Amino acid sequence: MFRRMKAGRRSALARCLALLFLLAFPLLPAARATSVVPPEFERLVTGSDYVVRAVVEDMRSVYRDGPQGRVIVSFVKLRVTENVVGEPPAVFELEMLGGRIGDDEMHIVGAPRFRVGDEDILFISGNGRTFYPLYALMHGRYPVRRDAKSGREYVARSNAVPLQSVREVSLPMSTGPVAALQQRAVDPAAALSPADFIAQIKAVAQEAEQHAK
């Protein structure tokens, strides 16, 4: 189905993905109808099943037959280096719709792409139960980067723009030239370190747990 698909077959696949997207996430108004609504930081934390710092160890993609025909499903094997919220297994796989097998490729617009060796802070929700297991899609991934000048680790958003404050979590996610401009404009030295970001995540989770008692 995905082998150099003809236009009609691409359209059918696009409709299928659009339907899944609509069922899974609230959308912004018509002018930005393909964007996921950015969650508030507190909602991002409390809405996730797990929050982990992890490294991608392996990836594999397989075909799977479903109601809409054959699709590609990928499995991203993670090595968890820190449990931030919840207690997932030390090594586990994220299951998600999309991937590449030979010349066949299926990708959900806006979904982060993983590579072996990536290190991220991930907000995981519905793994194995939803079509993409990160909370609010691209808003659930925060890459850990290293400043080339100082060697300091810092946290970025999934568009590679350094994250200076948790308040920025709820801002729309820029792409393309705008994201590239922001990447150059924001000094990594001003970005949150992984430790700072994780401390604020834990504080929100602990407060939510106290209110639940």
| pLDDT per residue as tens digits for the range 197-213 | 999 999 999 999 888 87
Q: How far apart are CA 68 and CA 114, in angstroms?
A: 25
CB 142 within 8 A of CB 120: yes
Angle at 134 between CA 115 and CA 3, to 5 degrees: 55
Q: Is 169 among the domain residues?
A: yes
Q: Is 99 among the domain residues?
A: yes
Residue 212 CB partners (closer than 8 Å, separation 6+): none
Q: How far apart are CA 154 and CA 195, in angstroms?
A: 9
Q: Is 2 among the domain residues?
A: no
Q: Is 1 among the domain residues?
A: no
CB 41 within 8 A of CB 167: yes
Q: The domain that contains 177 carries what CATH number?
A: 2.40.50.120
pLDDT, tens only, 81-137: 999 999 888 778 999 999 999 999 999 988 999 999 999 999 999 999 999 999 999
pTM for the whole structure:
0.83
Number of folded domains that form the chain: 1
Q: How far apart are CA 139 and CA 124, in angstroms?
A: 11
Look up the domain containing 35 and give its range.
7-212
Q: Is 176 among the domain residues?
A: yes
Q: Which range (11-20, 96-105, 160-169) has the least confidence?
A: 11-20
